A and B are shown apart, each in its own frame.
Chain A
């Protein structure tokens, strides 16, 4: 509990911003969904067959898993707020459309007859009779949609639209329970609040609904206008993937750039999403720079013929740089020293007792080994399959979630785990990374990635970021990750500290 409160205090402004983003995305989506679904229901009302088709269609749309829908939207509209809103609107359509349609069809035919017999025009009948009578139905549809939207909007964080989901994702990634709880509770509270507000509208006359909806729209337009007219200095947007390591790196980039040209406005987008989101964002000009790993480039970003040949770290970087340049016109700066690659780790005490340094040393203790490995590692050719083949090792393994395997080895349930070589937990749980003496794991070195035109326009930024080339060892990175994840220091502070100690930045 104390933990939650301290996290809450230290991240107060983040939380407020996330709440505001979450609310903005949700309400805007809700509004758009209302503006689509209600008129649609009115239009199809006299045509029963068409109405049924739309009912089916909206139901089908709702069965698409939200994650898949977000994925499908990326190639069409990129990342950020737009695809998030589209997906949320799609989800909200069914409850609103269905309830509006049912509400309108359930109206007593005698009232419809009376309205006709009194010579009401179609529009007058709609606004004076039909909509007010269907209002309770419509509003409960909107209520359902609102709760649905606010819940689903947590996924928006996956594609860089921010919101409370960024707390939850960050929490999962860092195994930080307070963050998850804060994100989840805030989202639930927001849903309750909005639902309650809509319930209040249900019991009051139409003018209140109009008034409050008008206020919200005005507020949003106002905020949008402010954003649009606000004077913008040259802005450089730097984003990072989920996790503490990219966060520390982009703070270093920012510090270095600001030291070089203090007038530049640098915007940081921490925990912006997973690899493909960031890569597409970079290509779409949504962001300018993000740190990427050489191994990841070859593995999942560029098209490359599969070669059996094992590349050294410099070879990997050169190949990645060349292919990024050729296929995507991207510039890949010099990599840092550390490799964030797969690794096998054992307890330092276990290593000492059995004189373990290299992976090949495990042969001697093979019969005592019991592994806790991630599913991905078990399945990969350059993972456990490769270990078996190249090191002639085999031992019983259990598949587990990334964050669980560290607890498993700490509690002694397993005695060997896979890891990323810069994970802070290595330090936290006093684990030793065994040297990959037969070079099984492909090298993963981090380096800044940017568009070619950006690099040409900003040679000074290229220069200043190249200062990091060959710096930061795996141990440095482990320490910094440890300071952020376990010691709860801010990424900004940890990044700055490193730059100062290594004289990359002057006080």
Chain B
């Protein structure tokens, strides 16, 4: 066995000591145009990291430097503490699942053959590949007996991208790179696949770097979100922090874009019911503001922003006490409704 590969597997076993991926002063120029500048970031093992930004912001370029589809013009990227260029390139790539916006299932190969591509190269036995492929297909709600033999042309867009995800996961990679994987799908399939990838992430603990231009998608999926603009990483934070504490106007405006926070058909009631950490008090503190549980969330947010108030109290009829609700609680709730 190749010494570098053993090295890579050893490093994977000790992954807890260090960030899985580390960008250090990474820059990428195409001819004279700077696509990514001075990019610094650490991604921890098991994280679901979303890179978000408008088109041309450099997020896809950043992603493609991780599996060396592009090479940085300055700086370096480390995988398991070692420069990505130190690994044999193909072995590096076998350890990084890749899902494309255009899905790119090979039209000349069956679903089974598409899924088996990387495990085959890794030398995994046929029977093991088949059984794991079946398991994964079931996991993404595609009946293996029907779908394994199908050709990509016989799949719908949503089905094809499920296979695309299975293909990326089939070699059990420690990390998955996903380049706007759902943006070409219809809204229904998109929502379904977002739920699916969240479930898979929680189940398999696979680290994911996910690129999207859709802030709503970023809020729903990311443990942490990095906002990019014109080649720069403006802010890296948890979704809620991003909402409450944007680092600059661009992040704020990108976050507050209409489709992120509306429509909200929810009531204060829903926020309280969803949250186990709400504090309750029997008496209303001085100068506090009181709301009824059926107040529309839109109006509450609007009122709170207008009056610069961060905490409100909601009277609960059944228990005769007050629930203390902060802006953070509301935002957390909103983020989790996507």
Contact = CB atoms under 8 A, between A and B. Distances in A.
A63 to B, nearest CB: 35
A453 interface: no
Interface string A324-338: 000000000000000
Interface string A118-154: 1111001000110011010000000000000000000
Interface stretch (A107-115, A214-222, A255-263): A107-115
B93 A110 contact: no
A111 B106 contact: yes
Contacts of B92: 119
Interface residues of B, number: 22
B102 A118 contact: no
Contact of B67 (A108, A117, A133): A117
Which bracket fits the contact residues of A? 10 to 19
A72 B216 CA distance: 72
A110 B102 contact: yes
Contact of B98 (A111, A114, A135): A114
B117 A113 contact: no
Interface of B is mostly: mixed
A116 interface: yes
Nearest to A206: B108
A183 to B, nearest CB: 41
A110 B100 contact: yes
Interface in B81-134: 89-94, 96, 98, 100, 102-104, 106-109, 117-118, 121
Contact of A119 (B100, B108, B109, B121): B121
A111 B90 contact: no
A113 B164 CA distance: 14
B69 interface: yes
A114 B104 contact: yes
B100 A118 contact: no
**Interface-centre pick from B89, B108, B118 (highest chain A CB count, 10 A):** B108
Interface string A90-122: 000000000000000000101101111111110
B108 A133 contact: yes
Interface in B60-79: 67, 69
Given A114-B98, A114-B100, A119 B106 contact: no
A115 B98 CA distance: 10
A135 B109 CA distance: 13
Contacts, number: 55
B90 A119 contact: yes
B108 A129 contact: yes
Contacts of A129: 106, 108
B93 A119 contact: yes
A113 B121 contact: no
Given A117-B69, A119-B89, A108 B121 contact: no
Contacts of B90: 119-121
A115 B93 CA distance: 10
A230 B69 CA distance: 59
B108 A117 contact: no
A132 B106 CA distance: 10
Nearest to B167: A118
Contacts of B69: 113, 116-117
A144 B317 CA distance: 85
B121 A110 contact: no
Given A119-B118, A120-B121, A124-B121, A114 B93 contact: no
B98 A117 contact: yes
B163 to A, nearest CB: 12
Contact of B117 (A108, A116, A118, A132): A118
25 contacts: A108-B102, A110-B100, A110-B102, A110-B103, A110-B104, A111-B104, A111-B106, A113-B104, A114-B100, A114-B106, A116-B93, A117-B69, A117-B96, A117-B98, A117-B100, A118-B117, A118-B121, A119-B92, A119-B94, A119-B121, A124-B121, A128-B109, A129-B106, A129-B108, A133-B107
Interface of B: 67, 69, 89-94, 96, 98, 100, 102-104, 106-109, 117-118, 121, 177
